[in-house]
Amino acid sequence: MTGGESTVDAPRAVEDADAGLEVANPGETEAPSPLKPLLARSIAAVLLLGGQVVLALLFLVAQGQRLVFLIRLASGVAVARADLVATASLISLLASASLLMALPTGVAFLIWFHRAHRNLRSFRSGPFAFTPASAVGSFFIPFVNLVRPYEAMRELWQATDPIVRPFDEGPHGLVPVGWLVPSWWLLFAGRAILSWFALFHSGSGRGSLDAAITTAWSLVAYHALTIPAAATAIALVYLIERRLDALAASGSVGAPRLDSVA
């Protein structure tokens, strides 16, 4: 061609395509992301959350016994010093074990959460309110973490519903949420509030028997909430892993099954 217009021949176009230059195609949709194995992460999260349940049960017994002793002392009933020391030692031991387990449990859950959000892209074209990274990051932003982790889990739950076939036109945001996701978040939020309440009272009323009783009551409630909170988290991990597996089994995505351990 003439008049200053550039020419593009067929061999050059082929070279450009081989170099990775994309050619716009209005009718073409983005290829789904390949599935990544999830089972190993699900197992790790479930086992560590189960450990939290066991620790909470032991804590509940120890803190309940301490509360009984404190109420007796407040009523003027004598309590053997050896019993007080033994209970305090058990609580201290359980607290150390809880601290050791808290970090790996949180890390395992968030690693699972990231991978599960990542696998949504294998079945849904979006739009998504969360990327895998922002879903995890929502737990760490003050005040935002009062709401956004729940919203990230809600999106994960809705988008993994196998009733909605992969890449169906209907928006996955219309899928009913049910009771499990709100229950999980309310239990964990209530648990966090009780931990701060116990911390405030243990510091403000140091040396006071009444403050010690109030703190003990709040800790008993905290550990009692930990059990269903961890149980609902375990249920979510298991059910979401199964829902993703059901979507993979539909045959709409040519990718490895989610029950491959890696």
What are 215-243's pLDDT values in tens digits? 889 899 999 999 999 999 999 999 999 99
Q: What was the pLDDT predicted at 220?
A: 92
Of 94, 119, 126, residue with least CA distance to 226: 94
Give the pLDDT confidence score for residue 252 in this predicted structure.
Answer: 54
What's this model's pTM, rounded to 2 decimal places?
0.79
Q: What is the mean pLDDT of the chain?
A: 82
Q: Is the pLDDT of residue 93 over 70?
A: yes
pLDDT of residue 162: 86
pLDDT of 2 higher than 70: no
Residue 100 has pLDDT above 80, yes or no: yes
> What is the reported pLDDT for 249?
86
The answer to whether position 133 is within a domain reads: yes
3-state secondary structure of 116: helix
The pLDDT score that the predictor gives to residue 27 is 35
Mutual angle of helices 81-120 and 39-74, in 10-degree steps: 150
pLDDT of residue 215: 86
How many angstroms separate the CA atoms of 221 and 83, rounded?
22
Residue 220 located in a structural domain: yes
- Count of domains in the chain? 1
Position 179 in a domain: yes
Weakest-pLDDT range from 22-26, 115-119, 121-125, 198-202: 22-26
Alpha-helix runs per DSSP H in 24-147? 39-74, 81-120, 132-137
Percent of the chain with pLDDT over 90: 56
**DSSP characters over 207-230:** T-HHHHHHHHHHHHHHHHHHHHHH
Q: Is 35 domain-assigned?
A: yes
Residue 97 inside a domain? The answer is yes
DSSP letter at 181? H
pLDDT at 156: 95
| Spacing of C-alpha 112 from chain mean position | 8
CA atoms within 13 A on the CB side of 214: 16
In the prediction, which pLDDT does 204 show? 58
Q: What is the pLDDT of residue 124?
A: 84
- Asked whether residue 255 is assigned to any structural domain, the reply reads no
Higher local confidence (pLDDT), 162 or 13 = 162
pLDDT of residue 207: 63
Mean pLDDT of 137-153: 94
Mean pLDDT of 9-32: 39
CA distance 151 to 146: 10
Neighbours of 224 (CB within 10 A): 18
Rounded to whole angstroms, the Cα distance separating 47 from 11 reads 58
Q: What is the mean pLDDT of residues 79-102?
A: 93
Residue the block writes with tokens 């082929």: 14
In whole angstroms, give the CA distance from residue 244 to residue 37. Answer: 10
In a domain, 258, yes or no: no
Looking at the domain assignment, is residue 2 inside a domain?
no
The model's confidence at residue 9, banded by pLDDT at 50, 70 and 90, is: very low
Residues 6+ apart with CB under 8 A from 6: none
Residue 142 has pLDDT above 50, yes or no: yes
pLDDT at residue number 250:
79
- Identify the residue with better confidence: 90 or 209: 90
Phi-psi region of 26 (alpha: psi -120 to 50; beta: other; left: phi over 0): alpha
Confidence of residue 16 (pLDDT cuts 50, 70, 90): very low
Closest CA to 151 of 122, 128, 125, 121: 128
Range of the domain at 118: 10-249
